[in-house]
Amino acid sequence: MFKALPDLLQAALLTLEVAALSMILGVLIGLGLSLIRIHMKGPLMWLATVWVELARNTPALLQLFFFGFGLGAFGIHFSPYVIVLMGLTFNNAGYLAENFRGGFGAVPDTQIRAARSLGMTAFQTYTRIIIPQVLRIVYYPMTNQMVWAVLMSSLGMLVGFRELSGETQFFASRTFRIFEYFAVTAVIYYIIVKIILVISRLLAMRLFRY
């Protein structure tokens, strides 16, 4: 079984890669969605709301199936990697958008007034005053979402994606040593999550020194 370990660890890197990518994309899209929901009205705002509420109120697995089998029914086929990436990004964007919206709402208007009365432009106000404060508020939820993304990537195993869980399934089904392989994988996930949390805490100490 230990011969399989390098393959498992390799697959774990794939897990991290897809999770990280989906987070980056999710943050960008989520930020956009939240700003649309705060500042705009009309069909665009409605679309953003639909995205967010669908992502948050249906199972991640269902969303993954949509991108995999759903699109497949239209003849659009993607590699398992891309399917998982799309599914995770869709989900992440929805949850993060809601986190950001709460974050923006938690910064008092008086901050904007103070900045503008000092002569800052809207852009300066946003980038130097508002966003740093929002970042502080949403930092912990964002860390949680990253952990979530890593854990959710395991669903890839159900659409044929050979990330950590998929790779484990591959070995386990070939050797019928299901318990042992999955136990090792569980430990690997636990360690990965702990490392993410530690890095996050260290990053927070450097970013939020005030």
Partner 1 sequence: MQPTETFFSGFTSNDLWFLGEAALRTLWISLLAISCGSLIGTIFGWMLSVSRIGHYALAPVLDIFRSVPLIIQLVLFYNFAPMIGLRLDAFGAGLIVLILYTSANVAYVARGGIEAVSQSMRRAARSLGMTYWQDMRYVVWPIGLRAVFPAWVGVALGVMKDSALVSVLGYIELLKASQILITRTQETILILAIAGAFYFALSYPISLFASRLEERWHQ
151-170: contacts with partner 1 (CB under 8 A): 151-155, 157-158, 165, 168
Nearer to partner 1, 54 or 107 (CB): 54
Residue 20 binds to partner 1 (criterion: CB under 8 A)? no
Residue 46 binds to partner 1 (criterion: CB under 8 A)? no
Nearer to partner 1, 46 or 190 (CB): 190
Q: Is residue 52 classed exposed, middle or buried when 0-12, 13-18 and 19+ CB atoms within 10 A define those classes?
A: buried
What token pair was written down for 11?
A: 């697959």
Residue 190 binds to partner 1 (criterion: CB under 8 A)? yes
Q: How many residues bind partner 1 (CB under 8 A)?
A: 36
Contacts with partner 1, residue ranges (CB under 8 A): 53-54, 56-62, 65-66, 69-70, 72-74, 147, 151-155, 157-158, 165, 168, 178-179, 182-183, 185-186, 189-190, 193-194
